[in-house]
Amino acid sequence: MSGKNNPKADNSAIKDPEDWVTGDEPMTGPQESYLGTLAREAGEEAPEELTKAEASEKIEELQGKTGRGKKATAKKKAS
Q: By the 8 A CB rule, do 3 and 13 touch?
A: yes
Tell if the pTM clears 0.85, that is, is over it: no
Residue bearing the bigger pLDDT, 18 or 44: 44
Mean pLDDT for the stretch of residues 14-38: 88
Own/partner contacts of 1-4, CB < 8 Å, gap of 24 or more, are none
Q: Chain-centre distance of CA 64, in angstroms?
A: 10
Which among 8, 10, 3, 60 is positioned nearest to 34, based on CA atoms? 60
Amino acid, res. 17? P
Q: What is the pLDDT of residue 10?
A: 54
Helix axes 69-78, 52-66, angle to 10 degrees: 30
